[in-house]
């Protein structure tokens, strides 16, 4: 008699989103998100005071208004794009071999519920895929940390594999290149901006290997010592996508957005790049946001609307945002390969 063999469980994890655009739900989301010690890496008491007494109470009403601009009949784009990705992945994987679940690092569906679904099905192995292409402690690291925190309470822990990053995966790069080519067929551009979510400089330094990180030219090369440096991974992503698109170096810029607080974050800041572009008389810009694989507040509203408005106020004519990967076929194939290569 053949031995029964469990399926391989796959857990897709994205960042998270409020349950609704109500201020209370947004405040709840912000509290959970920002109380993560890998996101705001302060000791617990000052972090609690900062988040619960300052950031969440005052930021929630404004953020709720921003989410209302984003919300659709299907709800939060980040949530339904992740659901669409999961559904398409399920259709491409062998149902006899794989069971796919999805989760959000913050709010619902939770990582705990996603893991429970897999464990209830008696999977023999779990592959965790954080949907953040460039490793950072605050994203991929936080997902891995939370999965391990839950798993260590189990009596039976199956084999587990984590996908830490995939900045140089050919299908990830091709998925972005396809979207870029589509946009470039409609318009000629003077510059190509790659805007990534920012991080405090201190978090980059904490992960520096042998003091390698200088937050500067060290990111011009990607290798053993900076393979998990978030800033270096972002510059590498830019170089590889630009190479696929045949973009000249002098037309490509990498920058960082979404700064929170007064501490120095990784530079250059997207806001400063916009000012420099306008000052230099640049009129037409195509923007990529390759740190995000699903359109969300930071892409659609921050980059697509707020930065566009800033650029046009300074004399720019075209600030066009390339949509995120969402559930494009090439991106789905990339995730499929990330899973199958670890099975």
- Give residue-wise pLDDT tens across range 2-33: 456 899 999 999 999 999 999 999 999 999 99
Evaluate whether 118 touches 101 at the Cβ level (below 8 Å): yes
Q: Which residues of the chain have pLDDT under 70?
A: 1-4
Angle value at C-alpha 254, between 253 and 260, nearest 5 degrees: 135
Mean confidence (pLDDT) of the chain: 96
In a domain, 334, yes or no: yes
Of 160, 150, 82, the C-alpha closest to 111 is 150
The pLDDT value recorded for residue 260 is: 87
Number of domains in the chain: 2
Q: How far is Cα 157 from Cα 150, in angstroms, rounded to an integer?
A: 10
Is 197 among the annotated ligand-binding positions? yes
The pLDDT value recorded for residue 124 is: 97
Q: How far is Cα 324 from Cα 78, in angstroms, rounded to an integer?
A: 10
279: exposed, middle or buried (Cβ count in 10 Å: 0-12, 13-18, 19+)? exposed
Tell me the residue range of the domain where 260 lies. 170-321
**CA 336 to the chain's CA centroid:** 18
* Same-domain check for residues 73 and 215: no
Is 178 among the annotated ligand-binding positions? no
Residue 284, domain CATH? 3.40.50.1400
Quickly list DSSP for 269-311: BHHHHHHHHHHTT--EEEEE-TT-SS--IIIIIIIIIIIHHHH
* Same-domain check for residues 18 and 43: yes
25: exposed, middle or buried (Cβ count in 10 Å: 0-12, 13-18, 19+)? middle
In a domain, 302, yes or no: yes
Q: How far is Cα 83 from Cα 77, in angstroms, rounded to an integer?
A: 10
* Same-domain check for residues 174 and 135: no
Query: Three-state SS for 162?
Result: strand
Q: How far is Cα 37 from Cα 44, in angstroms, rounded to an integer?
A: 8
In a domain, 76, yes or no: yes
The pLDDT value recorded for residue 3 is: 56
Q: What are phi and psi of 107, to 5 degrees?
A: 70, -145
In a domain, 102, yes or no: yes
In a domain, 1, yes or no: no
pTM check: above 0.85? yes
* Same-domain check for residues 176 and 195: yes
* Same-domain check for residues 143 and 268: no
* Same-domain check for residues 112 and 194: no
Q: How many CB atoms lie within 10 A of CB 242?
A: 22
Starting from the edge strand earliest in sequence, which strands make up the sheet with 98-106, in order?
Answer: 98-106, 8-16, 125-130, 159-162
* Same-domain check for residues 184 and 299: yes
Q: Would you give the DSSP letter of residue 234?
A: H
Query: Three-state SS for 199?
Result: coil
In a domain, 219, yes or no: yes
* Same-domain check for residues 233 and 253: yes
Of 289, 66, 295, 104, the C-alpha closest to 198 is 289
Q: How far is Cα 90 from Cα 177, in angstroms, rounded to an integer?
A: 24
The pLDDT value recorded for residue 261 is: 84
In a domain, 223, yes or no: yes
Quickly list DSSP for 36-93: -TTTS-S-HHHHHHIIIIIIHHHHHHHHHHHHHHH-BTTB-HHHHHHHHHHHHHHHHS
* Same-domain check for residues 196 and 128: no
* Same-domain check for residues 151 and 174: no
Residues in the chain, how many? Answer: 343
* Same-domain check for residues 149 and 228: no
* Same-domain check for residues 15 and 124: yes
């Amino acid at each position: 008699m053949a031995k029964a063999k469990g399926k391989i469980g796959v857990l897709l994890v994205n960042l998270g989103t409020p349950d609704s655009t109500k201020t209370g739900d947004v405040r709840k989301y912000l509290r959970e998100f920002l109380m993560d010690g890998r996101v705001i890496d302060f000791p617990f008491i000052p972090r609690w005071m900062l988040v619960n007494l300052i950031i969440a109470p005052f930021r929630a009403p404004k953020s709720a208004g921003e989410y209302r601009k984003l919300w659709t009949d299907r709800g939060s784009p980040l949530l339904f794009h992740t659901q669409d990705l999961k559904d398409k992945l399920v259709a491409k994987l062998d149902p006899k071999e794989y069971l796919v679940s999805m989760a959000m690092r913050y709010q619902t569906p939770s990582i705990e519920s996603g893991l429970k679904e897999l464990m209830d099905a008696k999977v023999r192995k779990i592959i965790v895929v954080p949907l953040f292409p460039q490793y950072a402690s605050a994203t991929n690291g936080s997902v891995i940390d939370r999965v391990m925190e839950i798993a260590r309470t189990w009596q039976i822990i199956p084999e587990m594999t984590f996908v830490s990053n995939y900045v140089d995966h050919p299908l990830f790069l091709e998925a972005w290149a396809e979207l870029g080519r589509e946009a470039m067929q409609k318009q000629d551009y003077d510059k190509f901006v790659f805007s990534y979510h920012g991080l405090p400089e201190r978090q980059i330094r904490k992960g520096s290997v042998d003091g390698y990180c200088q937050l500067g030219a060290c990111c011009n090369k990607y290798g053993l010592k900076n393979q998990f440096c978030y800033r270096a991974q972002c510059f590498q992503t830019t170089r590889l996508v630009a190479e696929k698109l045949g973009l000249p170096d002098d037309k490509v810029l990498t920058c960082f957005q979404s700064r929170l607080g007064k501490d120095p974050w990784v530079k250059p800041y997207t806001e400063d790049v916009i000012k420099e572009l306008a000052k230099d008389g640049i009129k037409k810009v195509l923007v990529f946001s390759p740190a995000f694989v699903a359109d969300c507040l930071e892409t659609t509203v921050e980059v697509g609307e707020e930065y566009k408005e800033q650029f046009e106020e300074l004399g720019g004519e075209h600030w066009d945002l390339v949509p995120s990967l969402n559930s494009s076929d090439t991106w789905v194939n990339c995730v499929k390969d990330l899973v199958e290569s670890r099975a």
